[in-house]
Chains A and B, each alone.
Chain A
């Protein structure tokens, strides 16, 4: 589904991604872990071109999205993204947050979008917040709504950029729960996170990034129980 060929990204002289090759298949749940500054968020943000790569190519469903002729807006409709800081639109109600993109892009009517939004809110148990504004909600509630806002576009893949890192500890669980349900429904997911429990439980594959490279990757059991690379061993010792 996503093919990354020799991807590199430099900010000035600083090389953040150093020739990454990776392939993500439909239905996979790929969790990316690594120390801060290892390039994992940048890698994720390159996948929908929120960061413009400085080298290499990315293919999504067979299309080269790094080609300037590709209409990236059409690609992004198929790639949902969830941010560390939620990034809900504070001037719009919860329902309007969810329906804005589908209605503006002419994918469905306001009424259809409203119905879909209510169904999605039902799923995460926040129907009664449909007409509230984001600032009236807790971080956990905001992040769950940010997830369904992305789902309202019917994406083929969901990208999560440290979705629980800005949350109070007691709210992490409710967000991970929604993500687990999403995984069970068969969504293709790429998740950058520090939640090792989530990686162990949900991932089909875990990638370890360090110094702009993928240093090791394995299914979670092997990854956590039998790490090979010395940097990964050191990292796991610190976080587990």
Chain B
């Protein structure tokens, strides 16, 4: 039994501390976090805009809203949003990344590869975030919008001050699910020769010839996900203040 544990420790020491290999994981971790944060921000911005377009198109009053320029723009935007979510959700992330890297940004300098990857993951995530936010907004009772509008607030003010703050509470659990998925999906960045956390583990594996480096990478992902889950818990408790009864 002790021999077994010593064996594990030796393997871990060899894969992590020997030859300062931990710096390699750290570099990979940094890249993974960088791409995740960039993708997360881009994804939320894209998702929010598309979701609001979709919801607004559904609630345009007829026939009044049809004739105005704003109504027309919303309809075109909503059509684009539908196309976007269909195409992005209908094709693999890796294919999108390769097309963006070898196609659209073919001429971009290699040091921007990380940005291209972040952008690609963000574009992908945006489609999922859009559906999450749309569902969250539509889960809020129509009466809330009607109450806001009946007080003289315009559509934007009602969305911003009445509907969205309530929708956030419903959106939170699912959107953290999406962030967790996103964090782990950045592991395909290795395909465009970026050294993310997964790639770092795999490179060390090819030196030490055990699977221990991959287990180490996996554990780091696990810790990150647990941290994210903790953040989610704190946010949910804070937003729950108005739910508590006396």
Contact = CB atoms under 8 A, between A and B. Distances in A.
Contacts of B244: 133, 136
Given A76-B152, A89-B162, A83 B64 contact: no
Given A52-B61, A83-B146, A91-B166, A135 B242 contact: yes
Interface residues of B, number: 30
Interface in A118-156: 132-136, 146, 149-150, 153
B44 to A, nearest CB: 20
A7 to B, nearest CB: 15
B92 interface: no
A109 B144 CA distance: 24
A100 interface: yes
A42 to B, nearest CB: 13
Task: Name which of B67, B146, B154, B169 has the most chain A CB atoms within 10 A of its CB.
Answer: B146
A101 interface: yes
Contacts of B242: 90-92, 133-135
A83 B152 contact: no
B148 to A, nearest CB: 8
Given A52-B63, A68-B67, A136-B245, A85 B143 contact: yes
A73 B169 CA distance: 28
Interface in B156-178: 157, 161-162, 165-166, 169
B245 A135 contact: yes
Interface in A72-88: 73-74, 76-77, 79-81, 83, 85, 87-88
A226 interface: no
Contacts of B149: 50, 73, 76
Interface in A28-57: 48-50, 52
A72 to B, nearest CB: 8
A88 B211 CA distance: 58
A83 B147 CA distance: 8
Contacts of B68: 68
A74 B152 contact: yes
A44 B157 CA distance: 24
A73 B146 contact: no
B150 interface: yes
Contacts of A134: 242
Contacts of A85: 141, 143
Interface of B: 61-64, 67-68, 141, 143-144, 146-154, 157, 161-162, 165-166, 169, 241-246
Given A81-B146, A81-B147, 11 more contacts: A48-B150, A76-B149, A76-B152, A83-B146, A85-B143, A89-B144, A89-B148, A90-B242, A90-B243, A100-B162, A153-B151
14 contacts: A50-B146, A76-B150, A77-B152, A83-B147, A87-B141, A87-B144, A91-B242, A100-B151, A101-B148, A104-B153, A104-B157, A105-B152, A133-B243, A135-B245
Interface of A: 48-50, 52, 68, 73-74, 76-77, 79-81, 83, 85, 87-92, 100-101, 104-105, 132-136, 146, 149-150, 153
Q: Across chains A and B, which 9 residue pairs bring their CB atoms closest together, nearest first?
A: A77-B152, A87-B147, A101-B151, A81-B150, A87-B143, A133-B242, A76-B152, A52-B61, A136-B246
